[in-house]
Amino acid sequence: EWWTRKVTPGTVAAKYELEKVLGKGASSTVREGTNKKTGEKVALKIITIVGRGEKERTKFRDDTLRECEIWGSVHHPGIVNLMEFFIEPLQVVIVMELCKGGNLLDAVLDRGGYSADEASFVFRQLLEGLRYLHAQGVVHRDIKLENLLLRSRGDLSSVKLADMGFAVRTDKHGKFRSMAGTPAYLAPEMVSVIEGWPSAIRSFSSATDMWSAGICLYILLGGYPPFDGDTTKDVFRRVLHEEVDFQGRVWTGLDKSSKVLITKLLTRNASQRLTAAQALREEIVTNAGEFEMRKK
């Protein structure tokens, strides 16, 4: 069985020293940890098993193990590596590579947007991770800057896709039916189902990740999201009805090729949207060079 390969018997506390909290999600806490024997530094995602009865808790544990199963089966430099995990009565703990550089949303907000060179360099790494995932028949479903981590601070060459909590496997036609994600990054084909459009079809593909990737690129360059609003309803209305605009001051100085790529990703018709493999052939991405980031 898949899960016996990476599951380690015993408790996490027997093998790792649990250290400072790195971040918190809805049902998990991520902490730094040190392997007591080897001294290796890792990140530990501690997922507390919740549920009122034994039945609910079993379901919760099974859902969590599905995240581990998909995550544990993918191996790519652009995806945070899952090393092993522990199944304990009250928690599941995922041991993964430590990314000390924080997430890209904080990095962008710090600087008010990246230069076109920096953004395309970062974005190419996301595209490579996505091309790999999609070729494996996996859709991440929560592509956003908070889930893109840097292995070390300021090192733009070390982008890692994290948080496989919403990942799904597609069927043999490349489709899946269940919805998940974050409103500001949600693809219009999902939004139209949520909004109850009669024409909406409840069948999605890896193209949903590519829409979210387009949102990421827009924020990387612009420093703000393309479809914003005070309420989720507002955001959804804009996603469904408004064209992405490049009116802000940051956009005027930018080369056309970055706006072209954003437009091709933020295409409402999912079947016409660029795939990761296609986006990797776009001019702005192929021209993205290697470079050292300026020290702040």
Out of ligand ADP, Mg ion, none, what residue 45 binds, judged by CB under 5 to 8 A for its kind, is ligand ADP
Asked if 26 interacts with ligand ADP (CB under 6 A), we say yes
**CB neighbour class for 162 (10 Å; exposed up to 12, middle 13-18, buried from 19):** buried
120 binds ligand ADP (CB under 6 A): no
Q: Is 45 flagged in the annotation as binding? A: yes
Kind of pairing between the strands at 148-150 and 168-169: unpaired
- HSE-CB at 57 with a 13 A cutoff on CA atoms is 12
| Cα–Cα distance measured from residue 42 to residue 17, given in angstroms and rounded to the nearest whole number | 10
Asked if 125 interacts with ligand ADP (CB under 6 A), we say: no
Euclidean distance between CA atoms 218 and 224, whole angstroms = 8
Query: Which of the stretches 84-92, 100-108, 159-167, 272-280 binds Mg ion when contact is defined by CB under 5 A?
Result: 159-167
221 binds, among ligand ADP, Mg ion, none (CB under 5 to 8 A by kind): none
Please report whether residue 99 would count as binding ligand ADP according to CB under 6 A.
yes
22 binds, among Mg ion, ligand ADP, none (CB under 5 to 8 A by kind): ligand ADP
- Under rule CB under 6 A, residue 163 binds ligand ADP: yes
The piece of 26-34, 124-132, 270-278, 279-287 that touches ligand ADP (CB under 6 A) is 26-34
For residue 268, the minimal CB distance to ligand ADP (Å) is: 27
Kindly state the helix (H) or strand (E) to which residue 95 belongs, with its residue range.
strand 91-97
Is 67 a binder of Mg ion (CB under 5 A)? no
Other Cβ atoms within 10 Å of 135 Cβ, number: 12
3 state SS of 172: coil
Residues contacting residue 111 through CB under 8 Å, at least 6 positions apart? 223
Give the whole-angstrom CA distance, residue 56 versus residue 191: 29
Q: Compose the 8-27 pattern: x for residues touching Mg ion by CB under 5 A, - for all others.
A: -----------------x--
70 or 274: whose CB is closer to Mg ion? 70
The DSSP code for 223 is S
**Hey, what are 234's tokens?**
């507002």
Torsion of CA 119, 120, 123, 128, to 10 degrees: -160
Q: Per rule CB under 6 A, is residue 162 in the interface with ligand ADP?
A: yes
Minimum distance between the CB of residue 126 and ligand ADP, rounded to whole angstroms?
Answer: 15
Q: Enumerate residues 6+ apart whose C-beta is below 8 A from 81.
A: 75, 96, 97
Near Mg ion in 162-181, by CB under 5 A: 163
Of 149, 182, 185, 113, whose CA–CA distance to 23 is shortest?
149
Q: Given the complex with ligand ADP, which of 219 and 284 has the nearer CB atom?
A: 219
CB of 22 to Mg ion, least distance (A): 12
Partner interacting with residue 99 (select from Mg ion, ligand ADP, none; CB below 5-8 Å by kind) = ligand ADP
The reply to whether 45 sits near ligand ADP by the rule CB under 6 A is yes
What residue ranges bind ligand ADP (CB under 6 A)? 22-23, 25-26, 28, 30, 43, 45, 80, 96-99, 103, 146-147, 149, 162-163, 165
Known binding positions for ATP:
45
